[in-house]
Structure 1
């Protein structure tokens, strides 16, 4: 079980005592084997993303429960014949799973205070945005805003 799952909270203590619990730390070496592929020009290591974002999650929540793990998203195994196995998190998975989770479970209530990672670097200006602004229409993403988000958070230069 993941302790950040909302369904775990109301679980009775007597029920929880009947299960074996084992803490499994985030495996950054595993995460370093996974690439997030936004488009032909923008890609980055999943380990770089979770390393930087998890620090900010901890600052915002003062807890480890909401942090992203090495296998928060199941990457697709892209196996080109010459290059061997390549684990990829697609743009769709990144926006629809990772950023959706970060918005709904960590930063939605921080939006008005400005204490949020949902900012986009556009020139010299940092603009706060909400999750829905990452979409131009269904299935079409605002890549300028997404790139600005990655730049603001130090994921890409």
Structure 2
């Protein structure tokens, strides 16, 4: 299935949260190796901090997010162990396609990139190290 397979109805974000996703870029390029966690795996405390900071980041951009209550990330969004692949394929896809689907500016600002460098989801996945580092470094 691809994101265009939604007939006249978009796939519900709650439905998306319940499935694992695997993104394959058109050019088969892969994101860089994870520089966060231990070998690209977040422990429970790192995951909890990431969720807390990410939800605060999402809430801080509520004006451009429709249905914000449905866009918060829960502890079980990804079950332990939380790997770089799950972050790229599930968490980042949810952020791209559901949370910031209407306005990518918050992501552009967070990642400190030019808007032209964040056009496709493939562009976004390649920035997973920057995303996680910047979210983890947000003030509590």
* Structure 1: stretches of 5+ with no match in the other structure: 8-37, 76-87, 121-125, 136-141
CA contact (8 A) 2:71 2:99 kept: yes
Q: Give the strand-richer structure, 1 or 2.
A: 1
Q: Which has the higher contact order (CA 8 A, sep 6+)?
A: 2
Measure how far apart 1:90 and its partner are.
Answer: 1.0
Equivalent runs, 1:1-157 vs 2, <5 Å: 5=14, 39=34, 41-43=35-37, 44=42, 45-59=46-60, 60=62, 61=65, 63-75=68-80, 88-111=81-104, 114-116=105-107, 119-120=110-111, 126-127=112-113, 128=115, 129=118, 130-135=120-125, 142=126, 145-153=127-135, 155=136
Q: What do residues 3-23 of structure 1 show as CA deviations (whole Å, max 9, x unaligned)? A: 95269xxxxxxxxxxxxxxxx
CA contact (8 A) 1:107 1:117 kept: no
Give the 3 Å change call, closer, same or farther, for CA 134–100 of structure 1 in structure 2. same
Q: Give the helix-richer structure, 1 or 2.
A: 2
Relative to the length of structure 2, the TM-score reads 0.55
Aligned to 1:15: none
Alpha-carbon separation, structure 2, partners of 1:55 and 1:73? 18
Task: Give the RMSD, CA atoms, in angstroms.
Answer: 3.0
Measure how far apart 1:63 and its partner are.
Answer: 3.1
Rg (Cα) greater in structure: 1
Relative to the length of structure 1, the TM-score reads 0.50
Alpha-carbon separation, structure 2, partners of 1:103 and 1:146? 12
